[in-house]
Amino acid sequence: AQSVTQLGSHVSVSEGALVLLRCNYSSSVPPYLFWYVQYPNQGLQLLLKYTSAATLVKGINGFEAEFKKSETSFHLTKPSAHMSDAAEYFCAVRGPGYSSASKIIFGSGTRLSIRP
């Protein structure tokens, strides 16, 4: 079974500062991992995904995430925060295979605020 934990329900950074959003997962099989972003009054949009091809994954809007198996982590980073990055971010995990038991599990979300 898979699970995902996002550390910190709210993160606040200054514009131009490093963004670090933490995600730890639990999976009994090699996982597929995702980060989604939700802007106010909108649905979720895929930021990036890890599918075992490369441990450092680059996504849209300058975000990237690194898969660390030894730490069971998939933290999201961005070198320099922009005001437009203010949103809620969700980490998600899925096991491989075509099975009714292999479904995407979402974390509880981290709200990112950007200070001018």
Residues 10-49 that bind other proteins (CB under 8 A): 32, 34, 36, 41-46, 49
Binding of other proteins at residue 61 (CB under 8 A)? no
| CA 111 to each of CA 6, 27, 55, 56, 92: distance values in angstroms, whole numbers, following the listed order | 11, 25, 25, 23, 15
Contact at 8 Å (CB) between 75 and 63? no
Q: Nearest distance from residue 45's CB to other proteins, in Å?
A: 7
Judged by beta carbon, residue 79 or residue 103, the one nearer other proteins is 103
Binding of other proteins at residue 1 (CB under 8 A)? no
For residue 62, give the 3-state DSSP assignment. helix
Residues 72-111 that bind other proteins (CB under 8 A): 90, 94, 96, 98, 100, 102-104, 106-109
Q: Nearest distance from residue 90's CB to other proteins, in Å?
A: 6
Q: Strand pairing partners for 57?
A: 65
Binding residues (CB under 8 A) for other proteins: these are: 9, 32, 34, 36, 41-46, 49, 51, 90, 94, 96, 98, 100, 102-104, 106-109
